[in-house]
Amino acid sequence: MPASDRAIHADASVERLWTGATVITFVRTLASLALCLVAAVEQDRTLLIVGLVVYWVGDMADGGYARLFDCETRIGGVLDIMCDRINCAAFYIGLAWLEPEMVLPVSVYLFNFMVIDMFLSLAFLAWPIRSPNYFYVVDRRIYTWNWSKPAKAVNSSLFAVLLLVTGWWQVGLVIALALVVLKCVSMRWLFQLGIPVPERAAV
């Protein structure tokens, strides 16, 4: 099997919970969560932003480490997806706590990210690939709009940056609703593609 193919496709023999990448995932998750919780208690917007930065940097670090040291696993991919959600929720709930006018756009965004996007992100498990980062071997269109580098930037960073920089909840709401539409369209493409069901083992 070519090296590039080995990097993309899952290998049951290398699946394990503890790798350098998953250690980074757990550390950044706990650190960011703690910072956001303290920020909410202390009413400290700066500390909340530090918590967001720790989440973003850690999220890039765990994926980069996994690819660099060839320890990318499906277990790690699922953990990363789940931990992204708790870090994201901690930041945005903290932001809405500090700035109540942000409640509506934050609620729409969190519903999208923690329900619709979560389903889309975990769908990779139906195919023998290591993570959503390789979904292009399944469907290029769904990958391009959800997990390519530009898509990741728009889906995660743009919303937070605009809320923090402008403070315009109306703009945030428009972006959050646009993301809901994009994810629903992606979900339709996924269902049209069809999600494989594993063969039933002979008893």
Burial state string for 7-34 with b = 16 or more CB within 10 A and e = fewer than 16? ebebeeeeeeeebebbebbeebbebbbe
Mean pLDDT value of segment 49-75: 95
Determine the Cα–Cα distance for residues 96 and 40; give it in Å rounded to an integer. Answer: 9
With a cut of 60, say whether residue 3 has pLDDT above it: no
For residue 134, is it within any domain?
yes
**pLDDT of the residue at 2:** 44
pLDDT digits (tens, 9 = 90+) for 114-153: 999 999 999 999 999 999 999 999 999 999 999 999 998 8
pLDDT score at 203: 65
Could you give the number of structural domains in the chain?
Answer: 1
Give the pLDDT mean for 80-86: 97
**Is the residue at 199 inside a domain?**
no
**Which DSSP state fits 17?**
S
| 52 domain-assigned | yes
Residue 92 and residue 94: Cα distance in Å, rounded?
5
> What share of the chain has pLDDT > 70, as a percent?
97
Q: What is the pLDDT of residue 4?
A: 62
- Asked whether residue 90 is assigned to any structural domain, the reply reads yes
Neighbouring-strand partners of residue 9: 129
DSSP 46-61: HHHHHHHHHHHHHHHH
Residue at 84 is within a domain: yes
The crossing angle, in degrees rounded to 10, of helices 159-166 and 169-193 is: 170
Output Rg (C-alpha) for the chain, integer angstroms.
Answer: 18
Whether 87 is in a domain gets the answer: yes
Those residues with Cβ within 8 angstroms of residue 67's Cβ, 6 or more apart along the chain or in another chain: 7
Helix (H) or strand (E) run with residue 150 in it: helix 149-152
Whole-model pTM above 0.75? yes
Average pLDDT over residues 85-102: 97
Q: Which residue has the higher pLDDT, 200 or 173?
A: 173
Band the pLDDT of 38: cuts 50, 70, 90.
Answer: very high
Domain CATH for 48: 1.20.120
Question: Could you tell me the residue range of the domain that residue 43 belongs to?
Answer: 3-193
- Summarised one tens digit per residue, pLDDT across range 143-184 is 999 999 999 888 888 899 999 999 999 999 999 999 999 999
Amino acid at 106: V
Instruction: Determine what percent of the chain is predicted with pLDDT higher than 90.
Output: 88
Structural tokens at position 53: 């930065």
Higher-pLDDT residue of 74 and 7 is: 74
pLDDT at 196: 93
Residue 198 lies in a domain: no
**What would you measure as the largest C-alpha separation in the chain, in angstroms?**
60
